[in-house]
Structure 1
Amino acid sequence: MKTVVIIGAGFCGAVTAAQLLRGTTEPINVVLLNRSGLMARGLAYGTRTDEHVLNVPAGRMSAFPDDEDSFLRYAQRFDADVSANSFVSRRLFGDYLEWITREAARRAPAGSRYRPIVGDVEQIQPLAAGARVRLAGGQQIEADRVVLALGNFAPADPRVETGSGDFYGSPRYVRDPWRADALWVARPDEPVFLIGTGLTMLDTLLSLRARGHHAPIHALSRRGLLPQAHRELEIRPVYTTGLPQRLPATPNVHDWLHALRHELELARTEDVDWRDIIGGLRGATPALWKSLSLRERQRFLRHLRTFWDTHRHRCAPALGRLLDAERADGSLSIHAGRVVGYDETQDGVEVLWRPRGSNRIERTAAGTVINCTGPESDTRSVREPLIAQLRDAGLLTPDELGLGLIVDHEYRLVDRQGHSSTTLHYVGPFLRAQLWEATAVPELRRHVSALAGVLLRSLTTAPTAVAALA
């Protein structure tokens, strides 16, 4: 019986397991490894905060590209009022992922095994046929195929001027707001300073308020841009899809931006919502990204990435209204600029920051500083032992821009010499390096489905590794 080990039990890991169990016609052994006990959850869907809702409507959150209403049907089992355009809790979506994995295991061919295991992978060693996966504590699993389904690592510490980095070892600093109980360090009566103004900032704001935090909150990013909100809709949106064909043929970020602005202006005069224009680019984005030179990609990341992210990755309408209310009553202050240092005292910390376009230094007092810059994706330097082991062994290749990993058309890791692995695969947000549009469920489910097909086809002809959990 063939063994597939999947490392990471968030959306991609859980759905890969489900697709393998659903798609096989022969018995299969699927091992799902996660360092925490939250299987089929990941960081986003393991939250216990009711205010954390999905950023995509329920009708577009199916795990399966061939069954678009899968999640909607599941959600309606618990609340008949949920519609395709409802923004439901992430906790419910985590329940759904757990359910589809269990159901796939129950319906798999006789003799199949599904083993969710809590453990931290320390090393992957390629073998003549397959690979050996070693866990902390000495346990080993022999696998025919290994899938890395990783991507959401703790944020990197923001760069500051020389001499201020010691603050990152302070108990008043939270590097990873998603770590269990990380936010309890913030006293409810003390101001909090959030570094970052995107979706992670919004989630952290919601978590703090749910814990009873009532003091002012400050949030700073380079441009001070907030996530845009989705519309309230009763039907599925209809995207305007003609723009990709009307973009200038020469792959040039400046010219494409000019064309997009022109399209948005036309849409405004014709009473077409700008979200439909951005949505119409979604399917074409991977091809557009691939056509850009390295220099043009660098220009996009330097000048336009933040604008794209705030318009492309939107929040639920209710959360957009909450942001407006927090700002209107002064509970939340948004700043544009850069942190340059910290002055910590017994009573708190003063954050030193330089406003955008200015040389002066502002000082903002806080009890806690929380890093909300979002998951680290630079596999060239990320502080993740397994990635470091594979990187140092030359078994994976980080991309030049620090966006993720290089894989081939069958999701196989490409090694330092440019060769595709016969055993190691990757699926997850690190595909952004080559496709850009590879972080949301509607895209990731297609990649997971394609990878599952690759694995099942390859395993029909591959010699079987000796499956053992020592």
Structure 2
Amino acid sequence: MSTTTVAIIGAGFCGATLATHLLRHPPATPMRVLLINRSGAMARGVAYGTRVFSHLLNVPAGRMSAVAGDDDDFYRYAHGRDPRVTRSSFVPRRLYGDYLETRLTEAIERAVPGIEFRSVVGSAVRIAPLDDGARGAITLDNGEIIHADRVVLSSGNEMRRDPGIAESQRGFYDSRFYVRDPWLPGVLRDIDLTMPVLLVGTGLTMVDVALDLRERGHTAPIFAVSRHGLVPQAHRRMDGPPHYDDRLANRMLAHASVRHYVRAVRDAVREASRSGVDWRDVIGSLRAATPALWRQLPGDQRRQFLRHVRPYWDVHRHRCAPEPAACLQAEFERRGVIVMAGRVAAYTEQERSVNVAVRRRGAAAVECVEVGAVVNCTGPAPDFSAHAGSLLGNLYAEGLLVPDAIGMGFEIGEDGAVRGRDGSPSAWLHYVGPLLQSRDWEATAVPELRQYVKRLADTLLAPRREGLLI
């Protein structure tokens, strides 16, 4: 019986947990699992590779299990490491990285019969179909070529788009004063700790970078600018999980329009407030129904949501753990962190600093701040044509993936198969990760991602005949 080779590219949450799931369950045919990662650190990725103590999970420990069907798996692990941890604790993200690495190591050591595992250190730079059209060839940055029956992309958060600005100003993005990706190892170390810093973007990445700088000993003011100047709301502390009902979701599903959705949520929040119910429970009640709500919106309505509503949704849905929220509030009160609603109009480089002209929302004039660094905190933004030479950029150029209609990711079928330029789903190329947000919207947090991982694992473990599932 031939062996099926499954190559997983990316060893963050999705890649590591997919490998773990495959290693724990008997395959229909013998299987070789390859986990390809550009560094030797497995099960870390962007989110859990941080070593900064103040970077906490934004979901309580009791809801962070990587194992679908065992909600307490992470809680038991964290409580075993620190008995003070409860299900409602917000623990350091590096602890979660330790947990994922431990579970992967255990799965490798106890792999079921019929499965073998290999860790591959390197960056995949190109994927091409083999002559039979049912398999793929992965080229690594060291020239090694790996043939695989199934290839799974589990990356996507690495793509960064520079903040919008006039074409004449875009040269600044090649400056030594500019940090395009704050998650690259060591990029914040060269920032002058005595000079002010400008963070472009005011979401969760801004919170992480601001706290990281303070932990490094940065003492100067930190400016943060975004179109609306909105910052993430704080999670509350709870002794147990909240309880939701589906009345609001059903009310929203009755009419698919952004205006109706917004009005329904506002009415529900007002009603909840009169009943003494926290607004967070209103937002939380939509979590399970979000894919259906999103899919029901036509393309023009999705674009309208992204333009006008997304900033407000993000700060209420993607909340900050209580401890960093309190630290950030203290920074606001002492004017250590200054948030501006507006846009950057111009950058003027000097010998040791850069003058940044900011036009506040609704203002005609600009105001200038002098900073020692500008950090892009706008978050991931797929732009395949702008990333020519990258793995996803090459897949786009070769027609193996096609951007989705609203520019949030690429077309992905229900079973995780990537759709090519001809519109057909691939028999061998799959995706699991946060870019599923373009299809289902709610696809960035562990409780949802672990379900996507399980579904894809079940697909990969099922028997195939002539390249098709049976």
TM-score range, shorter chain: over 0.9
TM-score under structure 2 length normalisation:
0.96
Segments of structure 2 that go 5 or more residues without pairing to the other structure are none
1:183 corresponds in structure 2 to 188
| Equivalent of residue 13 in structure 1, options 9, 12, 15 | 15
Q: Which amino acid aligns with 2:206?
A: M
Cα offset, 1:248, TM superposition: 6.0
Residues 126-179 of structure 1: CA distance to partner in whole angstroms, max 9, x if unpaired? 121421111112211111100000111242111212322221111111111111
Residues 223-267 of structure 1: CA distance to partner in whole angstroms, max 9, x if unpaired? 000001100111111124310112262211111111110110000
| Equivalent of residue 308 in structure 2, options 303, 310, 320 | 303
2:257 corresponds in structure 1 to 252
| Equivalent of residue 168 in structure 1, options 163, 166, 173 | 173
Q: Specify the SS of the correspondent of 2:62.
A: helix
Aligned counterparts of 1:247 and 1:435: Cα–Cα separation in 2: 16
Aligned counterparts of 1:308 and 1:238: Cα–Cα separation in 2: 20
Q: Is the 8 A contact 1:343 1:350 kept in 2?
A: yes
Q: Specify the SS of the correspondent of 2:409.
A: coil
Q: Specify the SS of the correspondent of 2:189.
A: helix
Aligned counterparts of 1:457 and 1:277: Cα–Cα separation in 2: 39
1:376 corresponds in structure 2 to 381
- Show the 5 A alignment for 1:405-416: 405-416=410-421
Residues 5-25 of structure 1: CA distance to partner in whole angstroms, max 9, x if unpaired? 000111000011011111224
1:225 corresponds in structure 2 to 230
Q: Specify the SS of the correspondent of 2:188.
A: helix
Aligned counterparts of 1:376 and 1:257: Cα–Cα separation in 2: 25
2:343 corresponds in structure 1 to 338
Residues 33-74 of structure 1: CA distance to partner in whole angstroms, max 9, x if unpaired? 111222110011001111111011011111111111111111
Q: Is the 8 A contact 2:156 2:433 kept in 1?
A: yes
Q: Specify the SS of the correspondent of 1:281.
A: coil
Segments of structure 1 that go 5 or more residues without pairing to the other structure are 465-470
1:365 corresponds in structure 2 to 370
Cα offset, 1:208, TM superposition: 0.5
Q: Is the 8 A contact 2:161 2:383 kept in 1?
A: no
> Percent identity at matched positions?
48
2:119 corresponds in structure 1 to 116
Aligned counterparts of 1:80 and 1:27: Cα–Cα separation in 2: 41
Q: Is the 8 A contact 1:197 1:372 kept in 2?
A: yes
Q: Is the 8 A contact 1:124 1:390 kept in 2?
A: yes
| Equivalent of residue 440 in structure 2, options 435, 460, 463 | 435
- Show the 5 A alignment for 1:145-224: 145-224=150-229
Q: Which amino acid aligns with 1:205?
A: A
Closer/same/farther in 2, CA of residues 458 and 407 from structure 1, 3 Å limit: farther
TM-score under structure 1 length normalisation:
0.96
Closer/same/farther in 2, CA of residues 141 and 248 from structure 1, 3 Å limit: closer
Q: Is the 8 A contact 1:240 1:279 kept in 2?
A: no
| Equivalent of residue 89 in structure 1, options 88, 92, 99 | 92
Q: Is the 8 A contact 2:125 2:389 kept in 1?
A: no
Q: Which amino acid aligns with 1:23?
A: H
Aligned counterparts of 1:175 and 1:38: Cα–Cα separation in 2: 23
- Show the 5 A alignment for 1:23-62: 23-25=25-27, 27-62=30-65
1:390 corresponds in structure 2 to 395
Q: Specify the SS of the correspondent of 2:428.
A: strand
Residues 402-459 of structure 1: CA distance to partner in whole angstroms, max 9, x if unpaired? 1111111111011111111110000011111110111111000000000000111145
Q: Please identify, of 241-250 and 344-353, the stretch whose mean Cα deviation from structure 2 is larger.
A: 241-250
1:2 corresponds in structure 2 to 4
Q: Please identify, of 128-137 and 37-46, the stretch whose mean Cα deviation from structure 2 is larger.
A: 128-137
Aligned alpha-carbon RMSD (Å): 1.5
Closer/same/farther in 2, CA of residues 354 and 28 from structure 1, 3 Å limit: same
Aligned counterparts of 2:378 and 2:119: Cα–Cα separation in 1: 31
Q: Which amino acid aligns with 1:100?
A: R
Q: Please identify, of 13-22 and 373-382, the stretch whose mean Cα deviation from structure 2 is larger.
A: 373-382
Closer/same/farther in 2, CA of residues 463 and 245 from structure 1, 3 Å limit: closer
Q: Which amino acid aligns with 1:279?
A: G
Cα offset, 1:380, TM superposition: 5.0
1:467 corresponds in structure 2 to none
